Structure 1
Amino acid sequence: MLSYSLRRLLIGVGMLLALSVLIFVLLRLTPGDPIDAYIDPNVPMSPSDLADLRVTLGLDQPLPLQYLAWLQQAVMGNLGYSIQRPDQPVLGLVLSRVGPTVLLMGTAIAISIIAGIATGMISAVRRNSVADFSFSVLAVTGISSPPFLSALVGLYLFSVYFNWLPSGGMQTPGREFSIGDLLHHLILPAMLLAIAQTALIMRYMRASMLEVLNQDYVRTARAKGVYEFWVITKHALRNALLPVITLIGSTIGLAIGGAIFIESVFNWPGMGLLMVNAVENRDYPVIMGSTLVIGACVIIVNLLTDLAYAVVDPRIKVG
C-alpha cells in the first residue's frame, strides 16, 4: 500500500508539472502582450520604461527560460504576487480561498453521495415502479442541465421569487458570524452544485445494484430466509459500490468546473470566483497558482479513490 501510494504521488507530481507547462504556454498564446496586464493604460509610459519593466519581469527572456524561472520559484513555495493586488502573494491569496471552496464542494459532494446512493438503491429495488420512473426523470433532467443554468434558475426561484434563501455571499452583511447564518447561505449553492453529481451517481448506482441483485449469492441469501433489509444492505450494497466509488472520484473534476459557475453566480468567495476574476483581469500569477492547487487536489482525491477500492472490496489488492 505504501509503495503504491508513493508511486502514485510521483506520477501525480509529473502530471502537475505537465499541467503547469500547458497552462503557462496557453497563457502566453492568448492575444495581447503579457506586459499589458502590469501597466495602467491611463498612465503613459515611454518605450524605454516599457523595456526596463519587461527586463524586470523577465519577459525579455525566451519562453522556456521564463517557465524555468517560474518553476524554480514555485518549487520553493513562491508563486509570485498578484498583478491586481501587488501587496498580496499568490500563495496566500489562493490558500485564503481554498476553505470556502472546500466547504462548498464538500457539502455538495456529501449531498450527492447520500442522495445518489439512496435514490439509486430505491430505483433498483423497486424497478419499473413509480419511484423508479420519477427518479430516472429527475436524473436525466439533472444530467442535462448545465451548472450555469441550474444556478440561474435556482437563484431566481429560491432567492428572488420565493425569497426563501440568500442570493449570495457567505454571511449576511453587518451581522456577526454564526454557523446558522453560514448554513443559510450555503444550502442553496451546495444543492445546486450537487444536482449533476447526484444524477450521475444515482444512474450508476441503479445499474450496479440491478446487476448485483441478479447474482447467485443474493438469491442464495434470500433462499436461506435472510431478511430483505440485510440482503440489500449487507450482501448487495457493498458489492455494488465499487463502480460508484470510481464515479465519485471522477466527479471531483466536474464539481470544480461547476463550482466556478456557482461561485460566480452566488458571489461565493472561493477558488472559482478567484479564477474568474483572475482571467478577466489577466492576472497570470493567480491563474497559474490556482491551477496548480486545483490540480493537486484532483490528483490527491483520485489517489484516495483508488485506495478506497481495497477498503470496499478486500479482493482488490493495490500494488
Structure 2
Amino acid sequence: MLRYYLNRLLVGAAMLVALSLLVFVLLRLAPGDPIDAYINPNVAMSQEDMAAVRSRLGLDQPLPVQYAAWLASAARGDLGFSLQRNGDTVLGLIGERIGPTLLLMGAGLAIAIVIGIATGILGAVRRNSPTDVGLSIAAFFGISSPAFLTALVGLYVFSVLLRWAPSGGMLTPGAPFSVTDLLRHLILPALLLSIGHAALIMRYMRASLLEVLNQDYVRTARAKGVKEFWVIVKHALRNALLPVVTLIGSTIGIAVGGAIFLESVFNWPGMGLLLVNAVSTRDYPVIMGATLVVGACVIVVNILTDVAYAAVDPRIKVG
C-alpha cells in the first residue's frame, strides 16, 4: 500500500508540472507583451530601459529557460513577487487567501454531502413516490443550473429583495469579529455553492442504493425479519457509499471553479478573487503560483479519496 501511495504522489507531482507548464504556455500565448505588466504605463521609458528591465526579469531568455527558472524557484518554495501589490510575495498572498476559500468550499461541500446523501436515501427508499419525483425534478434543475446563474439569482433574491443575507464580503466592515457575523456572510454563498453538488450526489446516492437494495444479501436480511431501517443502515448504506465517495473526491476540482465565480460575485476574499484580479491585471507570478497551489490541493484530495475507499469498503485492496 505504501508503494501505491508513493506512486500516486509521483504521478501527482508530474501532473503539477504539466499543469504549470500549460498555464505558462497559455500566459505567453495571450495577446500583448509580458513586459507591459512590469512597467508603469504613466512613465515614459526608452527602448534601452525596457530592454534592461526585460533582461533583469529574465524575459530576454528563451521560454524553456524562463520556465525552468520559475520551476526551480517554485521547488524551493519561492513563487516570486506580485507585480501589482507593492512587491508582496505570492506565497504570502496565497497564505492570506487560502483560508477563506477552504472555509467556503468546506462549508459548501459539507452542506452538499449531507443534503445529497439524505435526499438520495429518501428517494431510493420511496422510489417512484411523489417525494422521489419531486426530489428528482429538484436535482435536475440543480444539475442544470450553471454556477454564474445560481450565484446571481441567489444574490438578487436573498440579498437584494428579501435582505436575508449580506450581499458580499466575509465580515461586516468596521465591526468587531464575531462568529455570528462570519456565519451570516458565509451561509448564502455556501448554500449556493452546494446546490449543484448536492443534486449530483443525490442522484448517485439514489442509483447506488437502489442497486444495492436489489442484492441477495439485502433480501436475505429482510427475510430474517431485520427492520427496514437497519437493513438500510447496516447492510445497504455502506456498500452504496463507494461510488458516492468517488464522486465527492472528483467534485473538488469542480467546486474550485464554482468557488472562483462565487467569490467574484460575493467579493469573498479568497483564492478565486485573487486569481480573477491577477488575470485582469496580468499579474503572472500570482496566476502561476495560485494555479499551482490549487492544483496541488485537488491532487491531494484525490489521493485522500483513494485512502477513503478502503475505509468505506474493506474489500478493496491496493498495491
Q: TM-score, normalised by structure 1?
A: 0.99
Q: Which residue of 2 aligns with 1:220?
A: 220
3-state secondary structure, aligned to 2:87: coil
The Cα shift of 1:40 comes to: 1.4
> Pairwise mapping of residues 173-184 of structure 1 onto structure 2 (< 5 A)?
173-184=173-184
The Cα shift of 1:3 comes to: 2.0
For the residues of structure 1 that align with 2:280 and 2:154, how far apart are their CA atoms? 25
3-state secondary structure, aligned to 1:44: coil
Amino acid of the structure 2 residue aligned with 1:166: P
The Cα shift of 1:24 comes to: 0.6
The Cα shift of 1:2 comes to: 2.1
Gaps of 5+ in 2: none
3-state secondary structure, aligned to 2:168: coil
Spell out structure 1 runs of 4+ moving beyond 4 A.
none
Q: Which residue of 2 aligns with 1:205?
A: 205
Listed one character per residue, the Cα deviations across residues 159-186 of structure 1 (whole Å, up to 9, x for unaligned) are 0000010001111111100111101100
The Cα shift of 1:295 comes to: 0.4
3-state secondary structure, aligned to 1:123: helix
Listed one character per residue, the Cα deviations across residues 89-112 of structure 1 (whole Å, up to 9, x for unaligned) are 001111111000000000001000
Q: Which residue of 2 aligns with 1:34?
A: 34
> Pairwise mapping of residues 226-245 of structure 1 onto structure 2 (< 5 A)?
226-245=226-245
8 A contact 1:275–1:290 mirrored in 2: yes
Gaps of 5+ in 1: none
For the residues of structure 2 that align with 1:288 and 1:2, how far apart are their CA atoms? 31
Is 1:261 the equivalent of 2:261? yes
Q: Which residue of 1 aligns with 2:82?
A: 82
Q: TM-score, normalised by structure 2?
A: 0.99
Is 1:95 the equivalent of 2:123? no
For the residues of structure 1 that align with 2:2 and 2:185, how far apart are their CA atoms? 41
The Cα shift of 1:240 comes to: 0.3
Is 1:19 the equivalent of 2:7? no
The Cα shift of 1:207 comes to: 0.5
For the residues of structure 2 that align with 1:288 and 1:235, how far apart are their CA atoms? 47
8 A contact 1:307–1:318 mirrored in 2: no
* C-alpha RMSD of matched pairs (Å): 0.7
The Cα shift of 1:87 comes to: 2.5
3-state secondary structure, aligned to 2:176: coil
> Pairwise mapping of residues 1-319 of structure 1 onto structure 2 (< 5 A)?
1-319=1-319
Amino acid of the structure 2 residue aligned with 1:211: E
8 A contact 1:151–1:262 mirrored in 2: yes
The Cα shift of 1:307 comes to: 1.0
For the residues of structure 2 that align with 1:25 and 1:71, how far apart are their CA atoms? 13
Listed one character per residue, the Cα deviations across residues 189-220 of structure 1 (whole Å, up to 9, x for unaligned) are 00000011001000001100110010111110
For the residues of structure 2 that align with 1:184 and 1:197, how far apart are their CA atoms? 22
8 A contact 1:23–1:288 mirrored in 2: yes
For the residues of structure 1 that align with 2:45 and 2:113, how far apart are their CA atoms? 56
For the residues of structure 2 that align with 1:17 and 1:174, how far apart are their CA atoms? 42
Identity in percent: 72
Amino acid of the structure 1 residue aligned with 2:99: G
The Cα shift of 1:293 comes to: 0.3
